[in-house]
Amino acid sequence: MAVFSSRLLSLSFLCCVVLIIIFISQASADNNTQNYHYFCDFNNRSGNYAANSTYHTNLNTLLSTLTSNTEIDYGFYNLSYGQNTDRVNAIGLCRGDIKPDACRSCLSGSRANLTQLCPNQKEAIGWYEDEKCMLRYSDRSIFDTMETGPAYYANNMLNATNLDEFNQVLNTLLGSLRSKAASGDSRLKYAADKSSDRNFQTIYGLVQCTPDLSASQCDDCLVQSIARIPIDCCKDRIGGRVVRPSCNMRFETSFLFYDPTPSTTTTNTSSSSGGKSNTTVIAITVPIAVVVVVLIFICIYFRARKPTKKYKTQEREEDDEDDDDIEISESLQFNFNTIRDATNDFSDSNKLGQGGFGAVYRGSLSDGQEIAVKRLSKDSGQGDLEFKNEVLLVAKLQHRNLVRLLGFCLEGKERLLVYEFVPNKSLDYFIFDQTKRAQLNWESRYKIIAGIARGILYLHEDSRLRIIHRDLKASNILLDGEMSPKISDFGMARLFIVDQTHGDTNRIVGTYGYMAPEYAMHGQFSVKSDVFSFGVLVLEIVSGQKNCSIGQGENIEDLLSLAWRNWRDGSATNIIDPMLNNDSRNEIMRCIHIGLLCVQENVASRPTMASVVLMLNSYSVTLSLPSEPAFYVDSRTGNLPDMSWEYNSGATRSSESTTKSAQASVDEAPITELHTR
C-alpha cells in the first residue's frame, strides 16, 4: 500500500509539473506578440516579395546568420546579403545592458514575430520585450542613416509631483546621458544612469543609438526624442519612452528597468500597448521557479547514476595545430565539385584576375548566389600559409566594410577561398582612370573614405581580434553595388593580442608607396602602419593620382611630397582632382589635412583610426598641424632620403643596406586581386 501511495504521489507530482510547463508555454506564447511593437512597409515603397523568391531566401539566410552569430558580443549586428534588387539589409540592436546570449534569444524571438506579422513585406521593424532588442530589415540601404520614423511613444499613467523640480532633474539627466551615448564608439552608443531630486525621488534614465550613426547624428536623434516628452509622449508623467529606428529614450521613477541584474520591484505602470499586472508576473514567476528546482533535482539524479568515463588524451604534434584550427570552421567548408561547377570548371571566361598566389574566378552557386573564388597556386608554399591565415582571420570578421568570407575548400592539393562577389571591381579601377573616375563625385569619394576608415577601425579596435592588415591599397578596396567600400585580401594580415602594440618581422610584404617607413626599413608594424596606408589612400582619392612619381624632367615628386609642399605653401587646392570642380571644398580640404596627419613620419604623431573616424564625422574636432611626411622628396633636388631596406615580397630582408630610388622601386606586390585588372 505504501509503495502504491508513493507511486501515486510521484505520478501526481509529474502531472502537476507537466501542467505547469503547459501553462508557462501558453503564457509565453500569448505574451510573445502582446509585448511587441512593429511596423510593416512603413515607407510605402518597398512592397512585397513573393514566397520562395530569391529575396525571400536571402532574407531567411540573413536573419538566420544574424540571430546565430556568436562572434559579436556587443549587441549590434548590421549585415547585408544578396545582390541588386534582391539584396537584403538588416540591423539588430540589443539594449546596452543585455548579455550576449539574452540578446541573441531576443533577436531570435523578434525574427519569428516580425516575419509572421509582416508576411512577404520587404521592409519591417520591430521592438521586442520592452525594447530589449530591435530588429529591422529592408531592401534599401539603412546603414549610417538617421531615421526618426516610424516611432511609438508610451507613458506611465501616474503623474509626477513637484513638477518644476522633477522636469529640471529629468532634463539634466537625459541631457547628460545623451552626450555620453553620442560619444560612444562604433560598437555601442548607450548610456544609463539615475538622479534624485530633493525629495529623494529617484529618476532612472536610459538612451541609446544604433552605433553606425555618427556622434552628431546620434545627438540629433536623441534631441528630437527628448523634445517629444512635453508634446505627445509623457508630459508630467513619472515614466515614459520614445522609440525610433535610430535611437530610443526611456525614463522611470517607480522602478529600475535596466541593469544586468533583473529588478524584483513591481509597479502599476501602463503604456499605450497595455501593462502587465502583478498577478501575471507572480503566476509565471512562481511556476518557473518550481520547474527549475525540479529540473535541478532530475539533473542531480541522473548525474549521480551516470558512470564516470575516463578519456584518454592524445598528444598532438605541433605541426598539426594549424590544421586543427581549420577544423573549427568545418561549417564553412565547401565541396570541391560544388566550386568547380559554380565556376564552370574554372574557365577562363570566369576569370577575374591573376595574382602572385593564384587566380580569382567568378562563380554562381546552385541557389543563384554569386561568389568570387580565390584558387591558390598548387606549387606555392606561401599559398598554403596565406590560405590558412585568411581562413582563420577573415572567417571571424563581420563588418559591412569588409569583404565577407563565405567559406573555403581544402581538398587534396586544392586550396580555395570563397568570398561574396563584389560587382563594381576595385577602387583603383575607377580612381586612376581618366574616364571612369568621373563617375565618382565627391559625395561618393567621401563615402568611400569614411567606409574604409570604419572598416580599419573595426579591425584595430572593434572586432574580437586586433588585426593589422599590412596591405591596404586602392586595389584591395572593392566597391559593391552601391559603391560602398569593402576591404579585401587578408593574406598579409597579422593578429595582435589585446595588449600588444607593435610587432617585428624579417619578411617585408606589401606594396611600395603604401608602406609606412618604420615597416619598410625596419620590419616594425603596428596599427599606425595601417593608418599610414589609409592616409595615402585618402590623398589618392582626393587627387585621383597614384602615390608615385608625378611631373616631368627635374620637377618630379611623389604624391605625399606634392601634397605636403602645397599644404605648406597654402595652395593645397592644387592637388584636388579637377573633376571634382567646386564640390564641398571645405570637406575636401579637411580630408587632405587628415591624410597628411596619417602619413607623418613620426609614428606617435599619427592619429588612431578611432580619432580619424571622429575627425571625419565631426567638424567640432580641431585638427592638429601635420608635420613633414615620410619619404619626403624635395622637388628642387629630386632626392629621396636614404631608405636602407630591400623590397622583395615574400623574401627576407637583406642584412646589407640597399638604397632604392623612386624610379627603381617595385610598384606592385604579387597579391591576388578579386577583380579584373
Catalytic residues: 471
Q: At what angle do helices 442-457 and 585-598 cross, to 10 degrees?
A: 30
Nearest to 344 by CA among 315, 320, 373: 373
Rounded CA-CA distance 275/283 in Å is 15
Rounded to whole angstroms, how far apart are CA atoms 547 and 16?
77
CA distance 377 to 342: 19
* Number of H-type helices and E-type strands within the chain: 16, 21
The grid coordinates of residue 176 equal 547628460
- SS3 for 294-347, per residue? HHHHHHHHHHHHCCCCCCCCCCCCHHHHHHHHHHCCHHHECCHHHHHHHCCCCC
Q: How far is residue 323's CA from residue 333's CA, in Å, rounded to a whole number?
A: 13
Phi, psi of 513 (to 5 degrees): 105, -30
Cβ within 8 Å of residue 29, ≥6 positions away:
none
- Which of the 8 DSSP states describes residue 607? P
Q: How far is CA 518 from the centre of its chain?
A: 29
DSSP conformational letter for 402: B
DSSP secondary structure letters along 126-179: EEETTTTEEEEEESS--TT-----S-EEEE-SSBPSSHHHHHHHHHHHHHHHHH
Classify 342 in phi/psi space as left (phi over 0), alpha (psi -120 to 50) or beta.
Answer: alpha
Contact (CB, 8 A) for 455 and 486 = yes
Q: CB of 581 within 8 A of CB of 594? A: no
258 closest CA partner among 177, 185, 340: 177
Residue 308 CB neighbour total at 10 angstroms:
4
Amino acid at 406: L
Alpha helical stretches, state H, 334-380: 336-342
> Shortest CA distance to 547 belongs to which of 526, 567, 563, 531?
563
The single-letter code of the amino acid at 569 is D
